[in-house]
A and B are shown apart, each in its own frame.
Chain A
Amino acid sequence: MKFKQSSVLPGFNLALGYSLLYLSLIVLLPLTALFAKTMGLDWATFWAIVTEPRVVATYKVTFGASLIAALINLFVGMLIAWVLVRYPFPGKRFIDALVDLPFALPTAVAGIALATLYAPNGLMGEPLDKLGIKVAFTPLGIVLALTFITLPFVVRTVQPVLEDMERELEEAASSLGATRWQIFSKVILPTIFPALLTGFTLAFARAIGEFGSVIFIAGNMPFKSEITPLMIISKLEQYDYMGATAIAVVMLLVSFGLLLLINGLQWWMAKRLGRRK
């Protein structure tokens, strides 16, 4: 087997060579440094660092809050995508553009804005506080920040699939006597399911690594509202490079695993949609 299928187009060697060189320099080499540094640890020490109770507590907070935020966005995102594709309303173009705000707004700005709004004396925080709900400086604040940051993912993965859906299928189902709800659950949902899952996973992956917006609103209590990236910073500030690197490796492996999962999902989605067509 040949490495490359033959093609009349030129520039393959140059383009691939440059891409690989640049990728190696900017991404692979620095990440290798991370692994090389942890090689200095024996397995037992590494394991002891990454399973220390306080660190494990940060995994729970990080993964738990990310999961909840991604779940919230699964529903919110689907609703927004649905409304944007199916229902006409004034200012739609504006709202559609606004959905991407969390991608465009720096996370630190989102962090201070949310902390100010949801503090017990803030515009949103004060009424909530009267109801006995504390948002800022609690795990709920982390969920809020992560929900904000990851809002566009599900919308943007589901929207194109909904747009491309053939209405004939729904018409056919309807003429066969299916109710609207049955059509939704039996026809529409299965079609957008891979997109939903991809959006959910993307949101989850992004939420796990988020730092800028969370630190302003988290409260950072040990075992309660400390996130894993903060733990890395905290280890660094105790001059514990090994500890910081070990936790970073764990995060990196999780990110890489999620990324493989996402690519797998997208491949599955392409295949399903392709089959439909």
Chain B
Amino acid sequence: MSTAINNLNNKVVTTESAWVRYLLTGLALLLIAILLIVPLLSVFYEALHQGWGLYKDALIESDALSAIQLTLIVAAISLPLNLVFGVAAAWAIAKFDFKGKSILVTLIDLPFAVSPVVAGLIYVLLFGAHGWWGAWLMDNDIKIIFAVPGIVLATVFVTFPFVARELIPLMEAQGSDEEQAALVLGASGWQTFWHVTLPNIKWGLLYGVILANARAMGEFGAVSVISGHIRGMTNTIPLHVEILYNEYNFVAAFACASILALLALLTLALKSYVEWRTEQQAIEDRKHAIEAV
């Protein structure tokens, strides 16, 4: 209909004149180039401008390898923990009405707004030698901070809201009609969850996990406060980057940084794919709905 109006009355315009469009597009692309693309490329340039040999050496050096290994372990532990929490929290919040719900949602968001440095500090106050449980931990020879568990805890804290934040609006929008139908048809609670809810939220779940993973592998501030910086043992990749940088080993620092940058690009690619799949699913769902009618 709108095209019909357009043909009848040339004055109806819903876009800008061509030169404004080009100007704005050009400006936006320029800003993206300066703010995002140039810094990204500079990481790879700094890493590679003295050749492949140095780049490769920096990455197969044993401290770098153990930093990569530690980063993977930390992400592998913290992500499933937050995934289970995210699903549970979203189930309770999106499918039920209860008092204090909005406070709960705000509290879940809290780690997102807390400075990473504060996140590191709170674990020092709890588990440090002079913290609440420091003496007890020391007596029982349990190491939390300056060891892997502390790094995991700090990472869990900073990635805490990601999965829940993705799932809550998604599950709220989907409502609970399908689950109720499944229950009426005799499915158990777990069956309903595995066969009805999970397929519906799988892309949102993946989306949250991808974002959480990027943050988990790249966290610097919180981890820096509690790592102890023991070479080859408690350095994650971002900390290793800082150490190399402070050793005037710029090529190696940027080589390790480029691993993280590649990871960031991979994250973006996966994210786009998930978004695309979500759109596809929405279109299919609509088709099914129409067919059903």
Contact = CB atoms under 8 A, between A and B. Distances in A.
B280 interface: no
A113 B157 contact: no
B271 A100 contact: yes
A19 B84 CA distance: 9
Nearest to A79: B28
A259 to B, nearest CB: 5
B59 to A, nearest CB: 15
B91 A112 contact: no
A12 B219 CA distance: 33
A93 B241 CA distance: 31
Interface of B: 2, 5, 9, 11-17, 21, 24-25, 27-29, 31-32, 34-40, 42-43, 46, 81, 84-85, 88-89, 91-93, 95-99, 102, 104-118, 121-126, 130-132, 153, 156-157, 160, 176, 179-180, 183-184, 189, 192-193, 211, 214-215, 217-221, 224-225, 237-238, 241-242, 245, 250, 253-254, 257, 260-261, 263-265, 267-269, 271-272
Contact of B106 (A4, A5, A259): A259
A79 B211 CA distance: 24
Contact of B115 (A102, A104, A229): A229
17 contacts: A10-B189, A28-B107, A33-B125, A82-B24, A96-B272, A100-B271, A106-B218, A107-B221, A108-B220, A112-B245, A113-B40, A117-B38, A206-B112, A232-B115, A233-B117, A245-B125, A255-B113
A76 to B, nearest CB: 6
Given A97-B268, A211-B117, A11 B189 contact: yes
Contacts, number: 297
Contact of B218 (A109, A171, A232): A109
A208 B118 CA distance: 12
Interface of A is mostly: helix
A209 B32 contact: no
Contact of B12 (A107, A117, A175, A245): A175
- Give the interface centre of B122, B156, B250 by most chain A CB atoms within 10 Å: B122
B110 A256 contact: yes
A133 interface: no
B39 A16 contact: no
A117 to B, nearest CB: 5
B25 A89 contact: yes
B195 to A, nearest CB: 14
B271 A101 contact: no
A30 interface: yes
A228 B97 CA distance: 39
Given A108-B241, A209-B116, A256-B113, A171 B97 contact: no
